[in-house]
Amino acid sequence: MAKVPRSLAGLTIAITGGARGIGRATAKALLAQGARVAIGDIEQPLAEQTAAELGSGTIGLPLDVTDRDSFKAFLDQVEDRLARLDVLINNAGIMPLGPFVQESDATAQRIVDINIHGVIIGSKLAIERFLPRHRGHIVEIASATGKIGFANAVTYSASKHAVVGIAESLRQELRGSGIDISVVMPTAVNTELGSGLGGARAFKAVEPEDVAAAIVEALQTNRFEAYVPKSLGATIRSGNVMPRKFMEWVGRALKGNEVLSNLDHTARASYEERMRQTIEGGRPAPAAAAPAVAEAGSPAPEAAVPAESGPTDQDTEAAKREKEAV
């Protein structure tokens, strides 16, 4: 007999990085299930605008996932304005791309701060609230790169491997506590973050609504691993039992490495400019700002492919100041 999906009606759900892309689509899908939704984003005006557009009592709040005080204040406001927290969806993340040897230390640090430390901080704060209640659910948004390494995305892939590892370990550590863990791993997604990526023969890019549907299903069925598309899971599992050289040959034949290497920087210019602002100043450019658009065939902005000479002394000092600030 099929398991009856759990109702999400009335649950209070907080989504990080919820102002656009997967976060926004997930908020909309959860509202349709009757949940109360709060979205947090480092771009507070955009978070508020998205919340207003979604309606149904959605609230948009400021959130810097790299700052424990900011994250705690976000969750405090969620519980003050809605109700006690039932679900945290750690969705916030960035994806600067480019050859590893050309990646600046400031870029690598920012990826780690947001994609890994942000997940660690949020998960700890949620668990602190969930443990006394003996209930709660954390959804970690990872990626197919959390299971497979991709060229041109070394640090990003490492960060998503870390997210999968966090989810795997928390699942074991929290067994019997009443706290559930899910990890969602999509292939390339048609969002601003996924703009300008190359195409593979095996899988086409999915829509943010597809990822949102997988998140809803994971919450309803208490599914631990959710791949988007679902067929991705079978491919990854088969790769674990096949000889490495054979799977690498299959990957080359299907042009898997071209997904994150063969970039259209014109299509990706808006995201790359926003990442440059995020890495240099710790904050993205305002949503309404007109980004610099790279000409077709021009090199990527520094956030995607930094200068070959590596970080300058000024870059190092800026990174130190940024680290002290967050």
Question: Alpha carbon of 17 to those of 43, 73, 128, 263: distances in Å?
Answer: 9, 15, 21, 24
Task: Respond yes or no on whether the N-terminal peptide bond of residue 99 is cis (omega within 30° of 0).
Answer: no
Structure token pair of residue 91? 């969705």
Catalytic (active-site) positions:
156
- Cα separation of 93 and 137, whole Å? 19
Backbone dihedral angles phi then psi of residue 2, each to the nearest 5 degrees: -65, 140
How many Cα atoms occupy the beta-carbon half-sphere of 267 within 13 Å?
Answer: 12
Backbone dihedral angles phi then psi of residue 308, each to the nearest 5 degrees: -65, -25
For residue 112, the SS3 value is helix
